[in-house]
Chain A
């Protein structure tokens, strides 16, 4: 993990003092609402339906056990004893007091955490693959570059008042677990024909009101040019992005309006001025950042023995075998396994954790995974480096904590925004929909038979639940003052990303679980032996699903 030096500490401490001063001036009436708004947003503070919401940054999803304990403590002392993991790897507190936020930020700074630029018209948290560093399909660890981008984007003086928010994601593996085609800038580590590693640069992806798959603006950017090239893109956006209409202000609109060719030539023109300047990355700096993400002290384990033991345990304990198969993943080091902690237990808000759970998870991280864990944009957590021999014991602890629901990547591993229960922007509640679906489809055999299925729920068009890229997406809409739900099918994240297609007219809250049931029934009727839901949908199109859902009942 990245560890702050004196420079980093000074910068973050000065930020806390700056914000404390701004809060005091605001409370004293010296800053208007309008003036205070961007200042508090860029320190993570939203004003919501019921209470302010504080979004704490978890840079590219990496957390230490010490940081998690502090988060647990803060949630207990400043909030109601729980917190929510967001779809961009951040953590949200739902009930902080505005006047206490400077104190919260000061305490976060003690463990090298902050809420910098987690909201506002600026560059947000750079996110990445939750399996970075341990995935078997990894080309190169994206995290050093995420840290480089984090530092470059933090308090960037030119880009703090952009037309709109700006989100960057980095992928370093074959599979894209960072949704790089749905970000303002997606960066993919790739190898060119000469065997050199660089970045494929994708610009203008996004969800929200106008979902778009990003366009490749540069097929291969050499590593040392990363910062200067990003600056060129941001400058083009800052200067030319629309500022007349909040809903047309993202870079995706600009890329569409200009066309990729013209956009690329604008970027190249700006880049010529910056290229090879002092912001060109040095081998020393790349090396320095890489040094924070070296492999932990892995043991030399005999994987054959470990596998044999594991198989035996799985054979004797059916529950364990489900969890092992569904919630754990292969690790690039022999004898180790990646463990996913499901925050999607039936009857609990997706993505939420209590203070006690957080502290227990911190202990488990210390005991089983070198004191580190990751947050995922699917609102789950990861213990990345668990010895196979310890899986059974870990699983038993997780079960007790209700963190072992064996549904990862399946229907009830729902991605769900806070929705109308919390959020002032929502058209409808999302959490009750998630809970109803989880309750209805809690039969594991059925879940596994359905196979991998991404169900994403957003309470409004802002799409914080990423419903456009769910295999099944649900969108809350306001129909004549009532909460209704629109369903879309066939979205996908990853490198063959797609945007979901709307099924038809919206449904009432009570009807949604049955609608889902009909959709699933159509799939199981039409699928071939090897097809998962997305495969079948892409083969048959939307018609058969439409028919089964909207057919008149006899």
Chain B
């Protein structure tokens, strides 16, 4: 169990991260859903229990097209930040939403910081699982850093210049 931010509020979360195949049954009994690393998911995707909820963890180097055609089976996708300075996750998230119309949960994990929340949200990330001891209620305020933005994004498809 962990606390995360999801859809703008702090909430309990019971998703698990599977390190390998052998854990899947055990984790399945106690969790709301299981995230699999992409390589593991590739291996087992055709034999997964359809009553369980599944997610994939994307490393920064992966092109979201690697999930093309399978997105409807995924309740969640975790965008993994190996370092908060590596901004590839922002493009991954945005493409999943806009190019592939992914409508499940997009969760930021790994090394991202509170001050990136507003941008992540605009790129379509709707859940945030911090890996450090971040006070989540304080982090929530960063979600509201700006009330207006210039350019179109995953959450605001119409840019300001069309709304002025």
Chain B residues closer than 8 Å to A35, beta-carbon distance: 84, 113, 115
Task: Using CB atoms, name the residue of chain B closest to A22.
Answer: B115
Chain A residues closer than 8 Å to B95, beta-carbon distance: 235
How many whole Å from B80's CB to the nearest CB in chain A?
A: 14
Q: A497: CB under 8 A from chain B?
A: no
Are B150 and A11 neighbours in the complex by a CB distance under 8 Å?
Answer: yes
Q: Residues of B with Cβ closer than 8 Å to A?
A: 63, 84-88, 90-91, 94-95, 98-99, 113, 115-116, 118-120, 122-123, 145-153, 157-162, 164
Q: Which listed residue, A10, A38, A152, touches B148 by the CB 8 Å rule?
A: A10
Chain A residues closer than 8 Å to B120, beta-carbon distance: 157
Are A7 and B87 neighbours in the complex by a CB distance under 8 Å?
Answer: no
Pairs of residues from A and B, 7 with the lowest C-beta to C-beta distance, nearest first: A161-B87, A157-B119, A157-B122, A285-B161, A151-B150, A158-B90, A18-B145
> A161-B85, A161-B87 known; A155 and B150 CB under 8 Å?
yes
How many whole Å from B46's CB to the nearest CB in chain A?
A: 28
Q: A160: CB under 8 A from chain B?
A: yes
How many whole Å from B95's CB to the nearest CB in chain A?
A: 8
Are A155 and B86 neighbours in the complex by a CB distance under 8 Å?
Answer: no
Task: Using CB atoms, name the residue of chain B closest to A17.
Answer: B145
> A7-B164, A121-B85 known; A279 and B146 CB under 8 Å?
no
Are B152 and A161 neighbours in the complex by a CB distance under 8 Å?
Answer: no
Chain B residues closer than 8 Å to A278, beta-carbon distance: 152, 157-159, 162
Interface residues of chain A: helix, strand, loop or mixed (majority): helix
Are A282 and B161 neighbours in the complex by a CB distance under 8 Å?
Answer: yes
Task: Using CB atoms, name the residue of chain A closest to B144.
Answer: A14
Most interface-central of A38, A39, A161, A285 (chain B CB within 10 A): A161
Chain A residues closer than 8 Å to B162, beta-carbon distance: 278, 282, 285
Bitwise interface map of A from 282 to 295 toward B, beta carbon under 8 Å scored 1, else 0: 10010010000000
Interface residues of A in 128-185 (CB under 8 A from B): 148, 151-152, 154-162
Bitwise interface map of A from 229 to 242 toward B, beta carbon under 8 Å scored 1, else 0: 00000010011000
- Bound-state CA distance A11–B145 (Å) is 10
Q: A5: CB under 8 A from chain B?
A: yes
How many whole Å from B137's CB to the nearest CB in chain A?
A: 14
Other A-B contacts than A38-B85, A161-B90, A243-B86, 14 sampled, CB-CB below 8 A, are A14-B145, A18-B146, A152-B151, A154-B150, A157-B149, A157-B151, A158-B91, A161-B85, A162-B87, A227-B151, A238-B90, A278-B158, A278-B159, A279-B152
Chain A residues closer than 8 Å to B99, beta-carbon distance: 273
How many whole Å from B103's CB to the nearest CB in chain A?
A: 17
Most interface-central of B118, B123, B147, B148 (chain A CB within 10 A): B148
Q: A481: CB under 8 A from chain B?
A: no
Are A157 and B90 neighbours in the complex by a CB distance under 8 Å?
Answer: yes
Q: Residues of A with Cβ closer than 8 Å to B?
A: 5, 7, 10-11, 14-15, 18, 22, 35, 38-39, 121, 148, 151-152, 154-162, 227, 235, 238-239, 243, 273, 277-279, 281-282, 285, 288
- Bound-state CA distance A14–B118 (Å) is 12
Sampled A-B contacts (12; CB under 8 Å): A7-B148, A10-B148, A151-B161, A155-B146, A157-B123, A161-B85, A161-B116, A162-B87, A278-B159, A278-B162, A279-B159, A288-B161
How many whole Å from A114's CB to the nearest CB in chain B?
A: 13
Task: Using CB atoms, name the residue of chain B closest to A162.
Answer: B87
Chain A residues closer than 8 Å to B147, beta-carbon distance: 10, 14
Chain B residues closer than 8 Å to A288, beta-carbon distance: 161, 164
- Bound-state CA distance A154–B160 (Å) is 12
Chain A residues closer than 8 Å to B153, beta-carbon distance: 157-158
- Bound-state CA distance A243–B148 (Å) is 31
Chain A residues closer than 8 Å to B160, beta-carbon distance: 7, 151
Are A152 and B119 neighbours in the complex by a CB distance under 8 Å?
Answer: no
- Bound-state CA distance A278–B154 (Å) is 12
- Bound-state CA distance A148–B162 (Å) is 13
Are B63 and A239 neighbours in the complex by a CB distance under 8 Å?
Answer: yes
Task: Using CB atoms, name the residue of chain A closest to B146.
Answer: A14
How many whole Å from B73's CB to the nearest CB in chain A?
A: 23
How many whole Å from B41's CB to the nearest CB in chain A?
A: 21
How many whole Å from B26's CB to the nearest CB in chain A?
A: 36
How many whole Å from B153's CB to the nearest CB in chain A?
A: 5
- Bound-state CA distance A154–B158 (Å) is 16
- Bound-state CA distance A25–B122 (Å) is 24
Chain B residues closer than 8 Å to A160, beta-carbon distance: 87, 90, 116, 119
- Bound-state CA distance A1–B150 (Å) is 19
Most interface-central of B123, B151, B152 (chain A CB within 10 A): B151
Task: Using CB atoms, name the residue of chain A closest to B118.
Answer: A157
- Bound-state CA distance A34–B120 (Å) is 19
- Bound-state CA distance A227–B153 (Å) is 13
Most interface-central of A158, A277, A285 (chain B CB within 10 A): A158
Chain B residues closer than 8 Å to A11, beta-carbon distance: 146, 148-150
Chain A residues closer than 8 Å to B145, beta-carbon distance: 14, 18
- Bound-state CA distance A200–B103 (Å) is 37
- Bound-state CA distance A227–B152 (Å) is 10
Task: Using CB atoms, name the residue of chain B closest to A235.
Answer: B91
Task: Using CB atoms, name the residue of chain A closest to B159.
Answer: A279
Q: Which listed residue, B88, B118, B122, B158, touches A239 by the CB 8 Å rule?
A: B88
Chain A residues closer than 8 Å to B151, beta-carbon distance: 151-152, 156-157, 227, 279
Chain A residues closer than 8 Å to B85, beta-carbon distance: 38, 121, 161
